[in-house]
């Protein structure tokens, strides 16, 4: 079981905070939306910090 972050782009206010905190995990795609990079391992605590600071509260964990 692996935990990956999921962004609800409908709620995202494009503050850039998650990219600043975890540039290896979050990036902006060509449409201007936040995207989660496909990684074999995700830095759990750094992502949790990004989730905590997200002003739109639009990031959650998904277990896959």
Q: How far, in Å, CA of 53 to CA of 64, rounded?
A: 24
Give the residue, chosen from 18, 22, 25, 47, that forms a contact with ligand SF4 under the rule CB under 6 A.
18
Residues in the interface with ligand SF4 (CB under 6 A) total: 14
Q: Which tokens go with 39?
A: 């990684």
Q: Which helix (H) or strand (E) holds 19?
A: helix 17-21
Q: Report how far Cα 17 is from the mean position of its chain's Cα atoms.
A: 9
Give the residue, chosen from 22, 25, 47, 59, that forms a contact with ligand SF4 under the rule CB under 6 A.
59
Compute the least distance from the CB of residue 63 to ligand SF4, in Å: 19
Compute the least distance from the CB of residue 23 to ligand SF4, in Å: 12
């Amino acid at each position: 079981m692996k935990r990956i972050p999921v962004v609800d782009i409908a709620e995202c206010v494009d503050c850039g905070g998650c990219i600043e905190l975890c540039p290896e995990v979050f990036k902006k795609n060509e449409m201007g939306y936040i995207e989660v990079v496909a990684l074999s391992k995700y830095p759990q605590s750094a992502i949790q910090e990004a989730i905590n600071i997200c002003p739109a509260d639009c990031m959650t964990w998904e277990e896959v």
